[in-house]
Amino acid sequence: MLVDLALERQPDSVVDVGTGSGCIAIALAVHLPRALVYAVDISPAALAVARRNAERHGVAGRLHLMAGDLLTPRPQLVDLIVSNPPYVAADEWASLPVAVRDHEPKLALDGGPDGLAITQRLLSEAPAVLRPGGVLLVEIGATQAASVVHLAETAFPGATVRIHADLAGHDRVLEVAT
Ligand SMILES: C[S@@+](CC[C@H](N)C(=O)[O-])C[C@H]1O[C@@H](n2cnc3c(N)ncnc32)[C@H](O)[C@@H]1O
């Protein structure tokens, strides 16, 4: 869903924050052959997987993998920021499927006490990296829409903020259009 929404924008430059295996960034690099695509992760192990996957999909030469903490170090200005950040709240751990809770790295899921620690930080750093007219797309938890809209309106006064629901009708993606 994040990838479809991103492709609708046809950006010339994009950064995928928390790229993990690189699935989002690689899909964008494949479908946007002229775009500059950056992919950032704090985990060296995740970046190694993303590198292998980029090679497999023939985009390793066009995907700029960066070790970083969200948008630090800062990439160049981009048209689009996409992210599927960790957003699981502390009280949701117990209800996660065992396959996820016990086998996914905590770093990939843990969004702090309310699930929004990483998203809030990303929103506060994003204005310095988005070109005027740029767009930010962030995956969210199904119960987080009201909180992330408030955070986005604070970080981007005057921007158009909306929430996209997934096919099951659950709130799933925050969009901020500057
Ligand atoms: C939910 S996973 C998403 C992976 C992939 N983008 C996807 O959609 O499947 C979140 C990713 O964010 C990374 N991450 C967590 N904290 C981060 C931070 N402060 N800066 C950059 N990446 C971070 C994790 O290592 C993990 O790869």
Rounded CA gap, 113 and 11, in Å? 34
108 lines ligand 1 (CB under 6 A): yes
Residue 152, pLDDT above cutoff 90: yes
pLDDT in tens, 79-124: 999 999 999 998 888 888 888 888 888 899 999 999 999 999 999 9
Ligand 1 closest atom vs CA 43: 25
- In this predicted structure, what is the pLDDT of residue 172? 98
CATH of the domain at 128: 3.40.50.150
CA atoms of 169 and 96, how far apart (whole Å): 20
Confidence at 154, pLDDT banded by 50, 70, 90: very high
Is any atom of ligand 1 closer than 6 Å to the C-beta of 123?
A: no
Is the CB of residue 71 less than 8 Å from the CB of residue 125?
yes
* Domain count of the fold of the chain: 1
- Closest by alpha carbon to 85, among 126, 48, 53? 126
- Expressed as residue numbers, the domain containing 107 is 2-177
pLDDT at 131: 97
Q: Which pLDDT band, with edges at 50, 70 and 90, does 155 fall under?
A: very high
147 has pLDDT over 90: yes
Give me the mean pLDDT over the 46-62 stretch: 97
Kindly indicate the confidence band of residue 46, based on its pLDDT and cuts at 50, 70 and 90: very high
Residue nearest to atom 17 of ligand 1 (CA): 42
> pTM for this one?
0.97
CB-ligand 1 contact for 140 (6 Å cutoff): no
Higher pLDDT among residues 9 and 96, named by residue: 9
Collapsed DSSP state (helix, strand, coil) of residue 38: strand
Q: 60: CA distance to ligand 1 center in Å?
A: 19
Give the residue, out of 16, 41, 71, with the most ligand 1 atoms within 8 A of its beta carbon, to mutate for a pocket test.
41
